[in-house]
Chains A and B, each alone.
Chain A
Amino acid sequence: MNLTSNQVEEMIERQLREAALSNFVNRAHSQFLDMQNEMFVEIVLDDATHLEEVEKIVRNTTQELKLQDIKLDSVVRALWEILDVSYVGPSRSADGGLRAASLYDVTLKSGNRQHHVAVDVFWGATEFLKQKRGLGKLTSKSKRDFQNEVVAKAVWSFVQHQLSQGGISYWNPVLHPRLEMNDAAMLFVFGQSTALNELWQAVSDSFEPPVVDSILGSLAASRKKIQNFDAVLPDLSNMLGGAYRKGATFSTSANELFQKLDRSEQELLKKYFYARVELLKTESPDLIRKFSKVFS
């Protein structure tokens, strides 16, 4: 007997309805594929508390179909969202020895179920990010906290990427609650944050010696205070852009780019901006005197 993927979908859907589990299925992510010699189903749930029940239904269907000489391959998984990422401390191996990595704790949530995973960020990966974000220059007392926050944001993106993979490549955080983030993974995550990278670079460039004078002059002329990030943001547009070629697009509005960031990225960028302001105050008192109204 030959079945189509639609018929297999109907079979499973009926059993899920009978077990009152149908409402937990995310249809946008679930799939039923006819793979020529076999069927493949991926059932994706919005609530991980029901994983075992749905797995049981799919296992039974697999057995049923096997009797009809039909092979069914399956994945049953849940969608998880990240609630929080926080720095824990130096990473340690199972025997208690120090590893060349920092440990971050990630809180995940899927429906009514919460789960914690650990991410080891290798020092090489952290150094790469510190260098790219120009964090080495910062001298404020809260520098370490800010660095941890920047790395935590990268960990967030890394875990988000792991969670975005579906099909047979999906990551099961319950079975594999520990991840490692090396420099290659950091490079990948960094490359994904184009809007943040552009704005971050614009902030860094704005505080470089040849530019900072004219930026401060421009703020003074428009009577803006440097402690008001939202007011200064449009002036960062001058630091964006690049070589233009016909048909290509490039960013020209810092405001527009800023709106593309998620809230945590916006907060991080603001913190970096204010940290650079503090650094400027320490390093260039002459500029503070020259543009006293901008700094007041």
Chain B
Amino acid sequence: MERSVRVPLSPQLQDEIAERLRLASGLMETAEIAPTCSEYELRNSLSRLYYAFFHASIALLSATESDIEQISRNHGALHARLQRKFGKTMLISRMIRELYEVRKNCDYETGMFRTKYGGNIEAGRKDSILLLKRAKTQFYWLYHQARKYLDQK
């Protein structure tokens, strides 16, 4: 149904996609948020959550579009490609931009928890668990969309 024509992927590209998906899946598995995790563990988890999406997106786009290697180092370009592929209002397009903002805050904003949660780590954990829950559904959908292209082997 999709506009792009599905052509068999080269074994090398399939390997690259599989490698990306392994990385994405591994990052997602380690993005778990423990009930007693510290602020820094929480920051790490949310940052990994974004990169899980990042690699799964590249895997899917690599299977369907050209020049993905070029955009794999440019977050904005990747988000635009994803938005072109799925539309502006698809949850996946909004989710990756939301997670990117969260990841930037987690990696660079020293006072993020103080500003957003008044230093209440429990509130931060709760919010993050809900975000993770929302994100997981989208992630696995993206992951399986990309996986479909490997099943051609």
A29–B84 contact, CB under 8 A? no
Chain B residues 81-132 with CB under 8 Å of chain A are 81, 83-90, 93, 122, 125-126, 128-130
Q: Does A22 contact B (CB under 8 A)?
A: no
Closest approach, in angstroms, between the C-beta of A249 and any C-beta of chain B?
Answer: 7
Highest count of chain A CB atoms <10 Å: which of B1, B2, B35, B84: B84
Given A168-B4, A169-B2, is A246 in contact with B35 using a C-beta cutoff of 8 Å?
yes
Known: A168-B3, A176-B1. A245 touches B35 (CB 8 A): yes
Q: Is A7 an interface position by the 8 A CB rule?
A: no
A36 and B33 contacting across the interface, CB-CB below 8 Å: no
- Residues A167 and B130 in contact, CB atoms below 8 Å apart: no
Q: How many Å lie between the Cα of A276 and that of B137 in the bound state?
A: 31
A75 to B2, CA, bound (A): 12
Measured in the bound complex, the distance between the Cα atoms of B137 and A188 in whole Å is 10
Contact partner, B126, options A30, A40, A249, Cβ 8 Å: A249
Chain A residues lying within 8 Å of B3, measured Cβ to Cβ, are 75, 168-170
A247-B35 CB under 8 A given contacts A36-B77, A168-B4, A172-B1: yes
Contacts of A33 on B, CB cut-off 8 Å? Answer: 80, 83-84
Interchain CA distance A34-B84 in the complex, whole Å? 10
**A246-B122, A247-B122, A247-B125 known; A31 vs B1 contact (CB < 8 Å):** no
Are B80's CB and A169's CB within 8 A? no
Q: How far is the CB of A33 from chain B (nearest CB, A)?
A: 5
Instruction: List which A119-173 residues lie within 8 A (CB) of chain B.
Output: 162, 164-172
**Is the CB–CB distance between A166 and B80 below 8 Å?**
no
Is B152 on the interface with A (CB-CB < 8 A)? no
Map CB proximity to B onto A15-34 as digits: 1 under 8 Å, 0 otherwise.
00000000000001111011
When chains A and B are docked, how far (Å) is the Cα of A162 from the Cα of B4? 16
- Would you give the shortest CB distance from A34 to chain B, in whole angstroms? 7
How far, in Å, is B35 (CB) from chain A's closest CB? 4
Q: Would B84 and A168 count as touching, CB distance under 8 A?
A: yes
Contact indicator B81/A35 (Cβ below 8 Å): yes
Instruction: Please tell me if A191 contacts chain B, counting CB pairs below 8 Å.
Output: yes
The verdict on A42 contacting chain B, using a C-beta distance below 8 Å, is: yes
CB distance from B117 to the nearest CB of A (A): 12
8 A-B pairs with least C-beta separation: A166-B87, A246-B35, A247-B125, A167-B87, A31-B88, A247-B126, A167-B86, A245-B35
Known: A166-B86, A167-B90. 16 other contacts (CB 8 A): A31-B88, A33-B84, A35-B80, A167-B86, A167-B88, A169-B85, A172-B1, A176-B1, A246-B35, A246-B125, A247-B35, A247-B125, A247-B126, A247-B128, A248-B129, A249-B129
Residues of B at the A interface (CB closer than 8 Å) are 1-4, 33, 35-36, 71, 77, 80-81, 83-90, 93, 122, 125-126, 128-130, 137, 141
13 chain-A/chain-B pairs, Cβ below 8 angstroms:
A29-B89, A35-B80, A35-B81, A164-B89, A165-B86, A167-B83, A167-B88, A169-B2, A170-B87, A191-B137, A247-B33, A247-B35, A249-B129
